[in-house]
Amino acid sequence: MVTDMVRYSKVIAVAEKEGLPQEFIRRLRKLETPVLEDKATRKRHTRQPAPEGGISICAAAKKYDIAAQTIHRWVKAEYIPVLKKTDYESFIDEARLAEIVKVYNSDPGHGTWVVKRFIEQQKNNS
C-alpha cells in the first residue's frame, strides 16, 4: 500500500500538484484517518531468535560476505544442516557454515569446486 512507503500528506500534495479534481482530494483526506487506524492495528510478525549455535541465512550472508543464494545451495545440497525453519526464515548451523566458508575462501575463483571436494573427502573419511 502506498501509505506504507510515504506519508499520507505527501500523497495529497502530489495529487494537488498533478491537478487532480478537488472531489478526489477531499475523498483522500477523508480516508486518511481510517487508513492510518487500520495500519496501526495490523499485526506484525515478531522474528524468533536463532537457536543456540544457529544463524539465519540472511544474517549469515551479511556476516560472512557470501551470497545468500550460495548458502541456500549449500543447504539444499545438505552441506549445512537446518536447525530450525520458520514461516519466514531458516536457521542453519553456524559452526558448519564457518567451516565451509573457510574452505570456500581458501581458493578464490574455485570455491565451489573446493567445497564440493571437501564435502566428498569428509564423506569418504566417515
Q: What is the per-residue pLDDT across 40-65, written as a single tens digit (0 to 9) for each?
A: 777 767 778 889 999 999 999 999 99
Percent with pLDDT over 70 in the chain: 93
pTM of the model: 0.64
Strands of 90-93's sheet, edge to edge? 54-56, 90-93, 82-85
DSSP letter (8 states) at residue 120: H
